[in-house]
Amino acid sequence: MEKEVVIKAENVIKKFGERTILNGISLEVYRGDTFVIMGGSGCGKSTFLRHITGALKPDSGKIYLLGKDLTRVSDDEMDALKKKIGMCFQSAALFDSMTVGENVSLPLREHTKLERGVIDIVVKMKLELVGLRGFEDLMPSQLSGGMRKRVGLARAIAMDPEIVFYDEPTAGLDPIVAGVIDKLILDLSKKLSITSIVVTHDMKSVFSIADRVAMLYEGKVLEVGTSDEIKRSNNPSVQQFISGSPDGPIRFFQQKDDYLEHLIR
Amino acid sequence: MPIRLENKNNLTVCHIDGEIDINSSPGIKKAFDKLIAKKEPKVVVNFSKVSYVDSSGLATLVEVLKNMRTYGGRLRLTNLSPKIKSLFEITKLEKLFDIVAEEEEAISTFM
Ligand SMILES: Nc1ncnc2c1ncn2[C@@H]1O[C@H](COP(=O)(O)OP(=O)(O)OP(=O)(O)O)[C@@H](O)[C@H]1O
Ligand SMILES: [Mg+2]
């Protein structure tokens, strides 16, 4: 059966000032897949995520989200698309002055005509899914980092999105909590048939959750394929990244000019 | 309104047509509110024309059940498609609701 493409990037180029951050990215994400974007710090992962969620526009190239060309959608179409996607930010991005329940219910209160009692039940259902039922009345400051991430996840799925984007969902968490988050991402994808796009450089996460993986390097897709294809890749840069070795073709520092030149300039 | 009410053997059968989602749930809830205001004792909801239920739809049904229970009213769901049935199972709600395969059976055994 032909797989349905829900995200398609075609030769996406983005410059910030003189620096080319995305240098011709093309890839496709299939419905229901967990698609992992990996790559070194600063290679443009978050920037690319912001393009495929419509927050940034490319200088050139095309991005299709659920069949709509993001470089030409109207504001109304963009609003409709936003209701079909959920975002989980690196920092969880909870509102500290709101309770857990209010954080999760925010999208429903803002974007729907559902009555209070119904919204409260949706909140309980979503908190149950992330293992935080009964925490509605706590404030974010009373939660651990891992719990905050889970609240962020409950909020991201409040509107039953078709696609959920995660930026570094396990960064800064201990390996066990990271494993819990990974399992949650997988469970939600399979149970609710959500398409998940996950940016991470946690190699353990990559291979435990990914159906397909894209590795970015210097603004380009170095390799894209299934988890197994990436694991077996002959590309020395991919292997260097997987093994976390400091020596190899990937340069970890990307200065623009010579150090001594810079000092005496 | 994608909801049609029918009186049969001293109970009300609700036929819902289409999707029970974020857009249609508020209207569907209002229709149920009228039955609840009348303290309707027995309500059967026929899902044979329901193609999709989202979380807000499930939450609406839970809220209706909760409201009906305050006066001893009872709610029964019938003719769920396999997909919708499994949704109730995944969300652990199948034990909360009284789910019967066919409408006829739901009515004749609704004591
Ligand atoms: N709004 C902006 N204006 C100028 N430069 C930017 C902007 N956003 C990102 N950049 C630059 O683009 C590059 C890529 O940033 P990005 O945040 O996409 O990296 P990343 O791959 O997500 O890194 P990390 O793994 O550390 O989160 C960085 O060099 C950053 O300085
Ligand atoms: Mg980033």
Give the CATH number of the domain where residue A5 resides. Answer: 3.40.50.300
pLDDT of residue A162: 94
Query: Does residue A23 have its Cβ closer than 6 Å to ligand 1?
Result: no
pLDDT surpasses 70 at A96: yes
pLDDT in tens, A136-154: 999 999 998 888 989 999 9
pTM for the model: 0.86
Q: List, as one string, the DSSP characters of chain A.
A: -PPPEEEEEEEEEEEETTEEEEEEEEEEEETT-EEEEE--TTSSHHHHHHHHTTSS--SEEEEEETTEETTT--HHHHHHHHTTEEEE-TT----TTS-HHHHHHHHHHHH----HHHHHHHHHHHHHHTT-TT-TTS-GGGS-HHHHHHHHHHHHTTT--SEEEEESTTTTS-HHHHHHHHHHHHHHHHHTT-EEEEE---HHHHHHH-SEEEEEETTEEEEEEEHHHHHT---HHHHHHHHT-SSSS--S---SS-HHHHHH-
Confidence of residue A155 (pLDDT cuts 50, 70, 90): very high
Query: Is residue A229 in a domain?
Result: yes
Query: Is residue A42 in a domain?
Result: yes
Query: At residue A27, what are phi and psi to the nearest 5 degrees?
Result: -165, 165
Count of domains for chain A: 1
Confidence of residue A1 (pLDDT cuts 50, 70, 90): low
Q: Which of residues 146-185 of A touch B (CB under 8 A)?
A: 158-160
Nearest Cα residue to atom 28 of ligand 1 = A42
The two structure tokens encoding residue A174: 């201990």
Distance in angstroms (rounded) separating the CA atoms of residues A229 and B1: 51
pLDDT of residue B1: 59
Nearest Cα residue to atom 17 of ligand 1 = A46
pLDDT surpasses 60 at A255: no
Closest alpha carbon to A171 in A198, A132, A137:
A198
Which residue from A25, A45, A47, A205 has its CB within 8 A of the most atoms of ligand 1, so it is best to mutate? A47
User: What is the domain extent for residue A256?
Assistant: 1-84+202-265
Query: Is residue A72 in a domain?
Result: yes
Give the CATH number of the domain where residue B70 resides. Answer: 3.30.750.24
pLDDT surpasses 60 at A34: yes
Surface-to-core class of residue A8, CB atoms within 10 Å of its CB (0-12 exposed, 13-18 middle, 19+ buried): middle
Contacts of B61 in chain A (CB under 8 A): none
* Helix A145-156 with A175-191: angle, nearest 10 deg: 10
Mean pLDDT of A69-98: 89
Q: What is the ipTM of this complex?
A: 0.91
State in Å: Cα A77 to ligand 1 middle: 27
Which residue from A20, A21, A89, A200 has its CB within 8 A of the most atoms of ligand 1, so it is best to mutate? A21
pLDDT in tens, A207-247: 889 999 999 998 999 999 999 999 999 988 888 888 887 77
Q: Is B94 helix (H, G, I), strand (E, B) or coil?
A: coil
Count of domains for chain B: 1
Query: Is residue A57 in a domain?
Result: yes
Distance in angstroms (rounded) separating the CA atoms of residues B45 and A156: 31
Query: Is residue A48 in a domain?
Result: yes
Query: Is residue A149 in a domain?
Result: no
Distance in angstroms (rounded) separating the CA atoms of residues A231 and A208: 12
Q: Which of residues 104-133 of A touch B (CB under 8 A)?
A: 108, 111-115, 117-119, 121-122, 125-126, 128
